[in-house]
Amino acid sequence: MDAELKMCGIAGELRFDGNKSDLAITKRMCDAQIHRGPDDDGYYVQGPVSLGIRRLSIIDLTRGLYPLQNESGTVHLVFNGEIYGFHALRSELQERKHRFRSKTDAETLVHGYEEWGTKCLDRLNGMFAFALWDDREQLLWIARDHFGIKPLYYHQSKEMFTFASEIKPLLARPDVHARPNERVIQDYLYRARVDDTADTFFDGIKRLLPAHSLLIQPSGTIRLERYWTP
């Protein structure tokens, strides 16, 4: 199956202003990308964070419901893509006493994060974009695959951080506005340059670059990391 057809749509937010996350806004973002995941939807909301997904069901159609959780319910994941050769990683994690609730490839990421933290990216091979919330550490972690096959966009302000698989869901929010990024548009029109930086055609909306991750905390602290270099 073509990589562009094997897709789900993810979205969510983390508030910096002390307000609770509005699940209705995350649902609106997911509805704006229902074409990416017509089979199912799922949500997690707790305090300042909310996660949502529109799912295209491919593996474990009945038990692979999102957001996926760890055994204690402290780690929550929404995921778009595929992890190649995940059975070997699953077996290793089971030997380390992790209990799986589904047969999905994405659940190896949940338990891999429990075991190795963000370094679990070193063990992944595939095409993916995901968002993971660690309730104990109060940490939102988003990442994109090594070559950027799966898209992931985000917007940040003093009040919140929000992300989605496409730009359209971000613009579905009442607090994100469609304003042109004139510099990027000029680079495209004059030099035919596009997608070579984190900036997009929309001012204030960025793409997460391939092989990069973001660590975001409710305090507003954001750390960008590159986890792989060719």
Give the CA distances from residue 63 to residues 67, 81, 183, in Å, rounded to whole numbers and listed in that order.
Answer: 11, 17, 46
134 touches 214 (CB < 8 A): no
Q: Catalytic residues, which ones?
A: 8
Among 114, 11, 14, smallest CA distance to 67 is for 11
Cα radius of gyration (the chain): 17
80 touches 5 (CB < 8 A): no
Among positive and negative, which fits the CA dihedral 184, 185, 187, 191?
positive
153-156/160-164 β-pairing: antiparallel
130 touches 53 (CB < 8 A): no
In sequence order, what DSSP letters do the residues of 205-218 get, joined into one string?
-EEPPTTEEEEE-T
36 touches 165 (CB < 8 A): yes
